[in-house]
A and B are shown apart, each in its own frame.
Chain A
Amino acid sequence: MSDALAPAVPSGTTRPPDAGRPPPSTPPQPPSEPVTSAQRVLPLRRPGRWILSAVALVLVAQLVHGLATNPFYQWDRFQYWFARPVIVNGLVVTLEVTAYSAVLGLAGGIALALARLSRSPVLRAISWVYVWLFRSIPLIVVLLFLYNFSALYRTLSLGVPFGPAFWHFDEAHLATDLVIAVVGLSLNEAAYAAEVVRAGILSVDQGQHEAAAALGLPRRYQFARIVFPQALRAIVPAYVNQLIGLVKGTSLVFYVSLLDLFGSVQSMGSTYPGDIVPLLLVATVWYVILTSVVSVVQFYVERHYARGALRALPPTPVRRLRVAVATLAARVRRETAA
Chain B
Amino acid sequence: MSIPRSDVHSPEPATAEEGAAAPIAVEVRDVHKWYGAHRVLDGVDLTVRAGEVTVVIGPSGSGKSTLLRVINHLEQPQLGHVSLDGELVGVRWQRGRLRELSEHQILAQRRRIGFVFQDFNLFPHLTVLDNVAAAPVATGLLRKPEAQRLAHTLLGRVGLGEKADAYPRQLSGGQQQRVAIARALALRPGVILFDEPTSALDPELVGEVLAVIKDLAAEGTTLIVVTHEIAFAREVADRVVFMDGGRILEHGTPGEVLDHPQHPRTRAFLSRVL
Contact = CB atoms under 8 A, between A and B. Distances in A.
A307 B107 contact: no
A218 B184 CA distance: 16
Interface in B213-247: none
Interface string A193-234: 000000000000101101111111111010001100110000
A217 B139 contact: yes
A215 B183 contact: yes
B187 A230 contact: no
A217 B115 CA distance: 13
A305 B126 CA distance: 11
Contact of A213 (B108, B110, B127): B110
Interface string B96-127: 00000001100111110101010101111111
A317 interface: no
B74 A210 contact: yes
B139 A207 contact: no
Interface residues of B, number: 31
Contacts of A221: 138
A311 B135 CA distance: 24
A208 B183 CA distance: 14
B117 A210 contact: yes
Interface in B110-159: 110-111, 113, 115, 117, 119, 121-127, 134-135, 138-139
A309 B139 CA distance: 26
Q: Summarize A's interface: helix, strand, loop or mixed.
A: helix
B183 to A, nearest CB: 7
B198 interface: no
A230 B125 contact: yes
A213, A216, A226, A307: most-surrounded residue (chain B CB, <10 A): A216
Nearest to A215: B135
B143 to A, nearest CB: 15
Interface string B71-104: 0101000000000000000000000000000011
Contacts of A218: 104, 107, 138-139
A229 B187 CA distance: 23
Contacts of B170: 311
Contacts of A215: 110-111, 115, 134-135, 183-184, 187
Contacts of B263: none
B121 A216 contact: no
Contacts of B121: 205, 207-208, 210-211
B169 interface: yes
Contacts of B123: 208, 211-212, 226, 230
B135 to A, nearest CB: 4
Interface in A284-312: 305, 307-311
Nearest to A213: B74
A216 B135 contact: yes
Given A221-B138, A308-B168, A216 B124 contact: no
Contact of A211 (B117, B125, B187): B117
Contacts of A305: 125
Contact of A230 (B111, B124, B139, B183): B124
A308 B125 contact: yes
B117 A207 contact: yes
Interface in B174-196: 183-184, 187
Nearest to B137: A221
B187 A216 contact: yes
Contacts of B168: 308
A219 B74 CA distance: 14
Nearest to A312: B170
Given A207-B117, A225-B134, A230-B125, A308 B167 contact: yes
A221 B252 CA distance: 42
A251 B72 CA distance: 55
Contacts of B111: 215-216
Contacts of A213: 74, 107, 110
A71 B193 CA distance: 78
Nearest to A219: B103
A235 B167 CA distance: 21
B110, B124, B167: most-surrounded residue (chain A CB, <10 A): B124
A213 B167 CA distance: 21
Nearest to B184: A215
Nearest to A224: B138
Given A207-B117, A210-B117, A308-B126, A216 B167 contact: no
B134 A217 contact: yes
A154 B263 CA distance: 82
Interface of B: 72, 74, 103-104, 107-111, 113, 115, 117, 119, 121-127, 134-135, 138-139, 167-170, 183-184, 187
Q: What 7 A-B pairs have minimum CB-CB distances, sorted nearest first?
A: A211-B121, A216-B111, A308-B167, A216-B110, A207-B121, A214-B115, A216-B107
Interface of A: 205, 207-208, 210-219, 221, 225-226, 229-230, 305, 307-311
7 contacts: A211-B121, A211-B122, A214-B117, A215-B134, A216-B107, A217-B138, A309-B125
Given A212-B123, A215-B187, A217-B134, 18 more contacts: A211-B117, A213-B110, A214-B74, A214-B110, A215-B115, A216-B107, A216-B108, A216-B111, A216-B187, A218-B138, A218-B139, A219-B104, A221-B138, A230-B123, A230-B124, A308-B126, A309-B169, A311-B169
